[in-house]
């Protein structure tokens, strides 16, 4: 056998082995990829310190508390210290909510005003009923008999007054109601009836201060 024949046989054998190896090769590996080796403790600590890992849970809008506006001026006004009144008594600290006042602890008895008795002038009529004079009765003397009609109190009217003229010829008052009441009493005292005429008359006028006044005479 020549050298050429031997070389051809070797090449043919090598080619056949290559083809056989290719045809008998295993199918693609379907196993999962290999994971990288577990890092060391130093690498784990470096990852835990990384800023990419969130340190706190993320708040969702559903759990976020609602924010309400706060009136700063109103809060400051309500929190302002209220200085106690120097004129009213104060309690020890801790009882400041129960401050007492003089009006709460002491009841001042109400003064009952007694109406001042107004003296009604007593008239004196001349026999001919052509002149009349008036005079105030003695405040300490009791009026009895026919003059008792003059001792009854007059109707209450604030600011009303009764004066006698300097010559005692008439009585003057600032109350029209009093003027009519005085004339009625004077007529009763005089005995006015259907046959006896009244010697009294009421005259209304305006005084020097613009006040309306009445005269009985």
Does the global pTM surpass 0.75? Answer: no
Cα 155 to Cα 118: distance, rounded to the nearest angstrom:
10
Q: What's residue 207's pLDDT? A: 84
Token look-up 């759990």 returns 63
**Residue 158 gets which letter from DSSP?**
T
Instruction: Read off φ and ψ for residue 76, nearest 5 degrees.
Output: -70, -30
Write the CA distances from 12 to 1, 2, 8, 21, integer angstroms: 16, 16, 6, 14
For residue 206, the surrounding DSSP H or E stretch is strand 202-206
Q: What's residue 179's pLDDT? A: 94
Q: What's residue 98's pLDDT? A: 47
Q: What's residue 7's pLDDT? A: 63
Tokens of 68: 């309400």
Residue-by-residue pLDDT tens, the chain, 217 positions: 565 666 666 666 666 666 655 555 555 555 555 665 555 545 545 544 544 555 555 555 555 555 555 555 554 455 555 555 555 555 555 555 545 444 455 555 555 544 456 788 999 988 888 889 999 888 776 666 778 888 888 888 888 899 999 999 999 999 999 999 999 999 999 899 999 999 999 999 998 888 899 999 8
CA 14 to chain centre: 115
For residue 43, the surrounding DSSP H or E stretch is helix 41-48
Tokens of 117: 């008795």
Beta strand segments in the chain, E: 122-125, 132-135, 162-164, 171-173, 202-206, 212-216
Cα 173 to Cα 160: distance, rounded to the nearest angstrom:
7
**Paired strand residues for 63:** none
Q: What's residue 148's pLDDT? A: 80
* Cβ neighbour number for residue 73 with a 10 Å cutoff: 7
Tokens of 216: 């009985």
Instruction: Read off φ and ψ for residue 101, nearest 5 degrees.
Output: -120, 165
Kindly give the residue spans of alpha helices, DSSP state H, lying in 79-113: 102-105
Tokens of 98: 């129960």
């Amino acid at each position: 056998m020549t050298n050429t024949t031997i070389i051809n046989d070797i090449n043919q054998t090598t080619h056949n082995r290559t083809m056989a190896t290719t045809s008998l090769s295993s199918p693609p590996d379907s196993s999962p990829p290999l994971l990288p080796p577990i890092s060391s403790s130093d690498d784990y600590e470096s990852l835990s310190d990384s800023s990419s890992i969130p340190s706190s849970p993320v708040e969702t809008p559903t759990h976020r508390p609602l924010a309400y506006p706060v009136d700063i001026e109103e809060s400051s006004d309500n929190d302002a210290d209220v200085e106690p009144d120097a004129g009213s008594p104060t309690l020890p600290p801790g009882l400041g909510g129960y401050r007492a006042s003089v009006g709460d602890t002491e009841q001042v008895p109400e003064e009952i005003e007694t109406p001042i008795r107004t003296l009604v002038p007593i008239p004196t009529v001349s026999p001919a009923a052509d002149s009349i004079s008036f005079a105030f009765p003695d405040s300490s003397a009791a009026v009895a008999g026919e003059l008792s009609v003059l001792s009854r109190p007059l109707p209450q009217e604030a600011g009303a007054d009764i004066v006698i003229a300097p010559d005692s010829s008439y009585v003057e008052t600032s109350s029209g109601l009093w003027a009519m009441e005085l004339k009625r009493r004077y007529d009763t005292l005089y005995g006015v009836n259907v046959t006896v005429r009244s010697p009294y008359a009421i005259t209304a006028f305006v005084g020097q201060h613009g006040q309306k006044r009445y005269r009985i005479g």
